[in-house]
Amino acid sequence: MSVVFWPRSAQRQALGESLFISGKLLDLERKVALSEPVVKSLSVENETLKNKVTILTIEAENDKEQVEVLEKSLQVEKEFCKLKDKQIGDLELKRLNVRAMSVKDFKDSDKYSDELCKYYVEGFDLLMKWIAKHHLGLELLALVVDDVEKELMSNRPSEATIENVTEEAIDVAEVMEEVAITTPVEPVPDE
């Protein structure tokens, strides 16, 4: 083997480069040594974050399932409310029908006819008293009122209807009007 000698300047240059490279290597080793704990810390943090992401992904999937269950439950509740609203509407209609039938049944009853007759007679009596008070010259006994009253009372009160009571009232009013026209009345001051 032969030994090759380099010139001194080349040796110095090689030595300088070697020292420079060694210094760089030491710097890099120091940086690597300082970076290793940071890398380990970041690796641990990365693993922690991966675990958290996995947990959050599972929770998100569970939440999606719960949202679907709640949406189905909400739909069922909406349909239930619609059914209840329909039932309430049906019951309201039924209530109105029952009310109308009750009113009709009452109007068709003897009690209603008796009440109509009673109000008619009371109104007629009140009218007679008023006429007697304000038209002193009017001869009420000459009226056919007694005949009308007898005819009304001879019928069973249950047979009195709005139509025949109204007809009788019109007849009585016409008779009273005829008598009032034919009988002169002196104005009398109110007492």
What percentage of the chain has pLDDT greater than the value 70?
A: 68
Q: Is the dihedral of CA 14, 19, 24, 28 positive or negative?
A: positive
Confidence check: pLDDT of 16 > 80: yes
With both helix axes pointing from N to C terminus, report the angle between 145-154 and 110-134 in degrees, rounded to the nearest 10. Answer: 170
Calpha distance 133→128 (Å, rounded): 9
* Interval 50-73: pLDDT, tens: 999 999 999 999 999 999 999 999
Q: Are 148 and 168 in contact (CB under 8 A)?
A: yes
Q: At 33, which helix (H) or strand (E)?
A: helix 8-108
Residue 165's nearest CA partner among 132, 110, 118, 104 is 118
Q: Is the dihedral of CA 165, 166, 171, 176 positive or negative?
A: positive
Can you give the pLDDT at residue 4?
60
Range in 67-71, 91-95, 147-151, 177-181 the model is least confident about = 177-181
Confidence check: pLDDT of 118 > 80: yes
Confidence check: pLDDT of 186 > 60: no
Calpha distance 110→105 (Å, rounded): 10
Calpha distance 16→4 (Å, rounded): 19
Q: Are 176 and 131 in contact (CB under 8 A)?
A: yes
Q: Which amino acid appears at position 41 of this protein?
A: S
Can you give the pLDDT at residue 142?
61
Can you give the pLDDT at residue 51?
95
Confidence check: pLDDT of 37 > 80: yes
With both helix axes pointing from N to C terminus, report the angle between 162-182 and 110-134 in degrees, rounded to the nearest 10. Answer: 10
Can you give the pLDDT at residue 183?
46
Calpha distance 64→69 (Å, rounded): 9
Average pLDDT, the chain: 80
Residue 180's nearest CA partner among 144, 149, 140 is 140
* Interval 138-170: pLDDT, tens: 676 666 655 656 666 666 555 555 566 566 666
Question: Which residues neighbour 144 within 8 Å (Cβ) at sequence distance 6 or greater?
Answer: 175
